[in-house]
Amino acid sequence: MTSAGKGMRGTTGSLSRDSVLLFLASCLALYFELVIIRYLSSEIRVFAYLKNLALIASFFGIGLGMILGKPPAGLKRVFPLIVSILFLIIAFASPLRLTHLVFPNDDRDYVMWGEIASLHSVPWYLQQSLLTLMFLVIVPGIMYLLVAFFVVFGGIVGERLTRLSPLLGYGINLAGSLAGILGFTLLSFLRLPPSVWLLVGFLASLPFFIRDRRTILAFATIVIAVAFAHPRTYWSPYYRIDLKELAGPEGRNGLTAYLLSVNHDYHQMILDLSNQSVDRFPQAKPTRAAYDLPYRVVSGPKQVLVVGAGTGNDVAAALRNGAFHVDAVEIDPVILDLGRKYHPERPYDSDRVTVFLDDARAYFHKCRRKYDLIVFGFLDSHTLLTSMSSVRLDNYVYTLESFREAKALLAKDGALYLGFSSGRSFLGDRIFATLSTAFGSTAHAYFIDNEQSGVAYIEGGNVNSAVIADFPEVSGEFQSHMSAITLATDRWPFLYLRSRSIPLMILIVVALFLYVATGVLKRRVPLGGLRDPQNFHLFFLGSGFMLLETKGVTELSLLFGSTWIVNAVVISAFLLMGMLANAVVAKWPVPRHWAYTGLFVALIAGMVVPYSSLAALANIEKVLAATLLVGLPVFFSGMVFSRSFAEVAEPSRSLGINLLGAVVGGVLENLVMIGGTPILGVLAVTLYGVSAIGLGGTSLGSLIFSTRATRLQAAETTTEI
């Protein structure tokens, strides 16, 4: 009996129950994937810059669980211990000294913000070796815990999937995954903490563990422990945020201040730099002078734009210096609210200020005003744009194209001021070179703090270096390095990466993980099955789709902003397109060669017409054009997959193989650090081409295999004659 026939066995009530449980299991698998990736990156900082590793481990675990068809009995017995170790390590990473686990490159090749872990009692010449060893033990160790966790949930999905016909089961799986995304998006929107994320997930998991008292006890213990681990912490859609008041001598130069940290790293201070405050604390004058510096470049600016407005220090400086109107752009709603509540100068209460909760690039696209001064606050990010990509949240703000868009918003004799904690490093060189190239003139650069880590870059206007003589100028030093610098562009936006390369530690960790993972697969799953054309085909469909999804999320952020809601909408749209394709194939079994033709045409169109070229269109036209460029490849890819999936004998195993292919796609995504974002399209076309070749009986594979069979048959006929 075929799997479709198996899926229709039983009563309607049984089918309904299996459908509901499959929906719930699929929802939980994606929900926990989002929860863990977000929580892990907040508490163990290397995963904020290597989120792709957590995604790879999650997909591998879910795929392996589906291939096995049910949670392994031995793993299910120790599941309470696995889930407890995983979440308690994350929750108490700080006291365990794992929060600032060092990325062993000494910041020379790939910059991460925050403290650098150290072993004070160990001689300096042993520290790097020991820290590297810790990294190579702890990071893969957490990845293996993730695999074990998701094998259980993948097995639960697989167990229910085998009881339904392939297309029905796959449709329910997509719908459940969409519900998981929407559920976590809602909790993020409500700014709820990890204890609530876990409580919701564990409660929803009870139907699968209702008879397992040890697991239920572990769930309850974890929720309570996590709630106590973060008692006075704010959670925005992007960050874990901590606010601490520094009064008296602890404050900034004697000033009472609030220290705001995100994901355990210093981010900014809320300062009172009003005339009255600085008169009382003269030692705060250098800090006040740094904030006033832009207004020595542009005297008496009437219209000011501040991007990365944060808690309001730059906005307050604009108001103090007589700006008629200030547009303040900030991406994080919680940081903005804390500024409204705690900033002593109350800048956001002024009727001269208009606040925009938006991404800087998205605002540049929409803005039709001209400004006398544009201020880029210290807009350095501490997280990635999405768990599927190596691009950070702020990477597209510091590209050549971004600076050119900002330049277009300047009035005559207007100026751009950019502050950044770059110091003397390739970061400083890159910002200087990219800004100078965008404006077609040499930027001015000044150290604005005693540590010489804060640098002010100024372009446009009529900069008089003599007027700014109290800040050390380093323009000549940066200019001497320009010829050797790779500029940050929308096609290669990796501001924090020294050169077009993949950091060695990423390669080592991925190789170590894949080596062990392949060993596990060999013991538990006969890999010879991948030589079957159908499995080979499904595997590379998963690889291609992963890259297609990554390409869509990263490039659409250029059009609509790098906000959390844009990412959630885009990923949800991908699942909806998959559901639509599945429904079409269920009603009309479209030939695969038609779907492949549409897929390759759409992929090539996306490479020839990059999403960024749509920025100049009006809003409605831009949405429609982006929908076509992004939606059509996903739709045709979904048609190919659903058409193939309808014929499989073991739906759970086949979908698991497809997810293992997504793991390979996730690994290949790292090549974007070398080739830039255009390589995603090239890789997607290549992998989909391989999937077509591997498909015997249809599409391009059909042509190859049928031609071969015809030749063999002809040869046999000739022999017989």
Cα gap 33→61, rounded to integer Å:
10
Task: Give the CATH architecture of domain 290-382+400-484.
Answer: 3-Layer(aba) Sandwich (3.40)
Render pLDDT for 25-53 as a digit per residue (tens, 0 to 9): 999 999 999 999 999 989 998 888 776 78
- Write out the residue limits of the CATH 3.40.50.150 domain(s) in the chain: 290-382+400-484
Cα gap 226→217, rounded to integer Å:
14
Q: Spell out the CATH class of 3-234+497-704.
A: mainly alpha
116-130, 301-315, 390-404, 580-594: the lowest-pLDDT one: 116-130
Residue predicted with more confidence, 483 or 148: 148
List C-alpha distances in Å: 305 to 309, 344, 639, 646, 705.
Answer: 9, 21, 46, 55, 62
Band of residue 2 on the pLDDT scale cut at 50, 70, 90: very low
Render pLDDT for 243-281 as a digit per residue (tens, 0 to 9): 998 876 556 666 778 999 988 888 888 999 999 988 888
Specify whether the CB–CB gap between 162 and 6 falls below 8 A. yes
b/e map of 41-78 (b: 16 or more CB within 10 Å)?
bbbbbbbbbbbbbbbbbbbbbbbbbbbbbbbbeebbee
Owner of token pair 């392939």: 166
List C-alpha distances in Å: 196 to 56, 91, 123, 495, 531.
Answer: 25, 13, 43, 35, 44
Highest mean pLDDT out of 23-27, 616-620, 622-626: 23-27
- Write out the residue limits of the CATH 1.20.1250 domain(s) in the chain: 3-234+497-704
Of 512, 392, 507, which is closest to residue 45 (Cα–Cα)? 392
Cα gap 430→427, rounded to integer Å:
5
Beta bridge partners of 356: 329
The confidence score (pLDDT) of residue 528 equals 52
Render pLDDT for 659-713 as a digit per residue (tens, 0 to 9): 999 999 999 998 999 999 899 999 999 999 999 987 754 444 444 434 444 443 4
Whether 618 has a pLDDT exceeding 50, the answer reads yes
Give Dmax over CA atoms of the chain in angstroms.
109
Render pLDDT for 485-499 as a digit per residue (tens, 0 to 9): 999 999 998 888 889
List C-alpha distances in Å: 240 to 36, 265, 266, 332, 567.
Answer: 14, 10, 12, 11, 19
Cα gap 614→367, rounded to integer Å:
16
DSSP 257-309: EEEEEETTEEEEEEE---HHHHHH-GGGHHHHHHHHTHHHHSSS-SEEEEES-
The confidence score (pLDDT) of residue 698 equals 42
Q: Residue 526, exposed/middle/buried by CB under 10 A (0-12, 13-18, 19+)?
A: exposed
How confident is the prediction for the chain on average, in pLDDT?
A: 85
The confidence score (pLDDT) of residue 715 equals 45
Q: CB under 8 Å to 545, separation ≥6 — which residues?
A: 634, 637, 641, 662, 665
User: Global pTM?
Assistant: 0.88
Region 185-200: mean pLDDT is: 95
Whether 412 has a pLDDT exceeding 80, the answer reads yes
Highest mean pLDDT out of 43-52, 168-177, 568-577: 168-177
Cα gap 682→23, rounded to integer Å:
34
How is residue 114 written in tokens?
A: 């925050």
DSSP state of 164: S
Cα gap 248→245, rounded to integer Å:
10
Q: How many helices (H) and strands (E) does the chain have?
A: 28, 11
